[in-house]
Chains A and B, each alone.
Chain A
Amino acid sequence: MSLPIMGAPDKKAKKLTVYTIEECVKCKKPDKREFKDGDLVHKILGKCKDCNENIMISLIYGEEPKKN
Chain B
Amino acid sequence: MIIPFLMLQADALNKAMATFKKNQPIGDAIGPMIVGKLMLEHDKHDIAVDTVYAESDISGRKAILVTAKGPAGTVGQPGNAVQELINKENPSLLIMIDAALKLEGEKTGEVAEGIGAAIGGIGVDKFKIEEAATNSNLPVYAIVVKQSLVEAISLMTKEIAESVDTVHNIINRIIEERTNPDDKIIIVGVGNTIGVIQ
- A residues neighboring B (CB under 8 Å): 1, 3-9, 16, 18, 35, 37, 39-43, 56, 59-63
Q: Count contacts between A and B, CB distance < 8 Å.
A: 78
The answer to whether A60 touches B195 (Cβ under 8 A) is yes
Verify B8–A59 contact, CB threshold 8 A.
no
Chain B interface residue number, banded: 35 or more
A8 touches B196 (CB 8 A): no
**Set of chain A residues within 8 Å of B25, measured between Cβ atoms:** 41, 60-61
Cβ contact within 8 Å between B2 and A18? no
Compute how far the CA of A41 lies from the CA of B23 in the bound complex, rounded to whole angstroms.
Answer: 10
Q: A40-B23, A41-B25, A42-B197 are in contact. Are A60 and B11 (CB under 8 A)?
A: no
Is the pair A7, B8 in contact by a Cβ cutoff of 8 Å?
A: yes
Kindly report which residue of chain A lies nearest to residue B37, judged by CB atoms: A42
Top-10 shortest CB links A-B: A9-B11, A61-B161, A62-B155, A8-B4, A41-B196, A59-B161, A61-B158, A42-B197, A40-B71, A63-B158
User: By the criterion CB–CB under 8 Å, are A6 and B11 in contact?
Assistant: no
Closest-by-CB residue of B relative to A19 is B158
| C-alpha spacing A3/B40, complex, angstroms | 40
Contact of B2 with A3 in the complex, beta carbons under 8 Å: yes
> Is B132 in the interface zone, CB < 8 Å from A?
no
Chain B residues with CB below 8 A from A16, complex form? 155, 157
Nearest-neighbour CB distance to chain A for B180, whole angstroms, equals 30
Q: List 23 A-B contacts (CB under 8 A).
A: A3-B2, A6-B8, A9-B8, A9-B11, A16-B155, A18-B22, A18-B155, A39-B24, A40-B23, A40-B197, A41-B195, A41-B196, A41-B197, A56-B40, A59-B161, A60-B161, A61-B155, A61-B161, A62-B156, A62-B157, A62-B158, A63-B157, A63-B158
